[in-house]
């Protein structure tokens, strides 16, 4: 069997965003679920827009997400390979020079549209003679280069998400593969890399479907069998339409807002399927059920509120070792496990550590002053070695006759300064006898 090899191919012109992350995750998951390899290909052929800081940011973001590539290549280091395969295709007549300016091409498109025709390149450059080309180049016109599509055979493939696909090449323009300045466009170098790197599956968004039809002919012209393709539906925002925000919501923003990588993975792994989104801290169950056949063709809805809720459920499962270094110094397992069920993000642990350590500002006690004075006396007298919260409330219930909210809420407010929070049975031993007595007394001063 052909080994499974996938690739994630970002351009280092900005930070990774939600759509990029989903593509990277799908490629990583498919490779790992099938015992294959996941490659990172930095598409930095555009020297003017590519920045080294974004290359490093991509590496950092993938590492944080746990999507470690098995190898990395950079297109900027592979120009000699592209040049050699380009020359082969020129010699074979599959790539040809074209001399129209951008303005001339735009005018042609407008004329075709005005006549009710599709704006497909008319291949006028193929009618030029050697003398015509020499004259143009003598006038300083440098050609761009187009890949000549084979119009005789329909392009067909079985897409792992979209099913059977068919394109008629005659309805498509011969794609430009190289600019007049010699720089490369995306499609030809990508196909050359997929062949050279042994990519078995190309997993990307449905906005690349037309590119795939063109690239399948490039694979054939290069004498290679094309990879298997999977085109997933694009993400939409919670408002139900394509959202510009999704194109700018970056990994750095998610990380800084307290979102855990496990929550991002758990959500994006299941979006677009009918499978329930669950707070999976471990990737094993997600990998076990990963199958492109489970993805639908309808747009996948990404909801930041759903991600936040999922994040809280992930945080509630994280052990101390997973958060150590992100919580206050001195906060050990007992304290972490006491406050963890009340957290939406790990950073919120600092707020509850402040509640434990003090000082706290309790709200006005009003008619509960006598009750809290009695609570202070009881807290000083009970045995703190076992379950001080049960001992304190049992004694106060017996002495005052209070029960329910009237028994518990004034104590919580005086001891924590808040109406809600972690289980007081877990919190009170952390606050400790001396601080608890002091807070109860302070509340009635």
Fold of 244-315: 1.10.1160
The structure tokens 């694009």 sit at 234
**What tokens appear for 102 in the block?**
């951008």
Q: How many Cβ atoms sit within 10 Å of the Cβ of residue 411? A: 25
The pLDDT, as a whole number, for residue 242 is: 55
Write out the E strands in 75-154. Answer: 95-98, 144-147
Separation CA 413–CA 26 (nearest Å): 48
H/E segment holding residue 38: strand 37-42
The model carries a pTM of: 0.91
Cβ-contact 328, 356 below 8 angstroms: no
Q: How many Cβ atoms sit within 10 Å of the Cβ of residue 294? A: 13
Separation CA 213–CA 205 (nearest Å): 14
Cβ-contact 373, 379 below 8 angstroms: no
| Radius of gyration, CA atoms only, the chain | 32
Separation CA 339–CA 393 (nearest Å): 21
The pLDDT, as a whole number, for residue 206 is: 95
Separation CA 147–CA 221 (nearest Å): 10
The pLDDT, as a whole number, for residue 1 is: 73
Fold of 81-178: 3.90.800
- How many residues are listed for the chain in this entry? 445
CATH class of 5-73+186-234: alpha beta
Separation CA 230–CA 209 (nearest Å): 9
Per-residue pLDDT of the chain (445 residues; tens, 9 = 90+): 789 999 999 999 999 999 999 999 999 999 999 999 999 999 999 999 999 999 999 999 999 999 999 999 999 999 999 999 999 999 999 999 999 999 999 999 999 999 998 899 999 999 999 999 999 999 999 999 999 999 999 999 999 999 999 999 999 999 999 999 999 999 999 999 999 999 999 999 999 999 999 999 999 999 999 999 999 999 988 766 555 566 678 899 999 999 999 999 999 999 999 899 999 999 999 999 899 999 999 998 999 999 999 999 999 999 999 999 999 999 999 999 999 999 999 999 999 999 999 999 988 999 999 999 999 999 999 999 989 999 999 999 999 999 999 999 999 999 999 999 999 999 999 999 999 999 999 999 8
Which of the four CATH numbers 1.10.3720.10, 3.30.2130.30, 3.40.50.720, 1.10.10.350 does domain 366-443 have? Answer: 1.10.10.350
The pLDDT, as a whole number, for residue 239 is: 67
The pLDDT, as a whole number, for residue 280 is: 95
The pLDDT, as a whole number, for residue 445 is: 84
Beta bridge partners of 230: 203
Residues 6+ apart with CB under 8 A from 33: 287, 288, 290
Long-range own/partner contacts, residues 90-93 (CB < 8 A, 24 or more apart): 90/145, 92/221, 93/148
Name the 3-class secondary structure at 146: strand
Binding residues for ATP: 244
Binding residues: 244
């Amino acid at each position: 069997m052909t080994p499974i090899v996938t690739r994630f191919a970002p351009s280092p012109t900005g930070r990774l965003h939600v759509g990029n992350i989903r593509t990277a995750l799908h490629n990583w998951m498919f490779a790992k679920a099938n015992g294959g390899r996941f490659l990172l290909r930095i598409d930095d052929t555009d020297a003017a827009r590519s920045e080294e800081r974004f290359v490093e940011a991509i590496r950092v973001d993938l590492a944080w997400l746990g999507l470690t590539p098995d190898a990395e290549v950079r297109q900027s280091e592979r120009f000699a390979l592209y040049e050699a395969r380009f020359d082969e295709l020129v010699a074979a007549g599959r790539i040809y020079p074209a001399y129209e300016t951008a303005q001339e091409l735009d005018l042609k498109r407008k004329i075709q549209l005005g006549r009710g025709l599709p704006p497909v390149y008319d291949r006028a450059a193929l009618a030029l003679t050697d003398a015509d080309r020499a004259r143009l180049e003598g006038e300083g016109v440098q050609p761009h280069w187009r890949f000549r599509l084979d119009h005789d055979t329909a392009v067909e493939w079985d897409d792992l998400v979209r099913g059977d696909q068919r394109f008629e090449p005659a309805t498509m323009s011969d794609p430009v593969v190289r600019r007049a300045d010699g720089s490369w466009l995306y499609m030809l170098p990508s196909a050359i890399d997929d062949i050279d790197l042994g990519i078995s599956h190309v997993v990307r968004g449905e906005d690349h479907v037309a590119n795939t039809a063109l690239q399948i002919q490039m694979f054939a012209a290069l004498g290679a069998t094309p990879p298997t393709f999977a085109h997933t539906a694009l993400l939409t925002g919670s408002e139900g339409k394509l959202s510009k925000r999704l194109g700018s919501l970056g990994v750095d923003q998610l990380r800084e807002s307290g979102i855990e990588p496990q929550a991002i993975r758990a959500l994006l792994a299941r979006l677009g399927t009918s499978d329930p989104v669950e707070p999976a801290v471990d990737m094993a169950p997600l990998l076990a059920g990963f199958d492109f056949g489970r993805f639908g063709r309808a747009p996948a809805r990404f909801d930041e509120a759903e991600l936040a809720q999922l994040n809280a459920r992930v945080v509630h499962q994280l052990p101390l070792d997973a958060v150590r270094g992100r919580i206050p110094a001195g906060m050990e397992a007992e304290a972490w496990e006491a406050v963890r069920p009340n957290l939406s993000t790990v950073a919120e642990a600092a707020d509850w550590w402040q509640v434990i350590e003090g000082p706290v500002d309790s709200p006005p006690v009003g008619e509960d002053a006598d009750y809290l004075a009695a609570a202070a006396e009881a807290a000083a007298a009970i045995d703190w070695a076992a379950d001080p919260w049960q001992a304190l409330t049992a004694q106060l219930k017996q002495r005052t006759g209070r029960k329910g909210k009237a028994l518990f809420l004034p104590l919580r407010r005086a001891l924590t300064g808040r109406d809600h929070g972690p289980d007081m049975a877990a919190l009170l031993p952390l606050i400790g006898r001396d601080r608890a007595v002091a807070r109860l007394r302070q509340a009635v001063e």
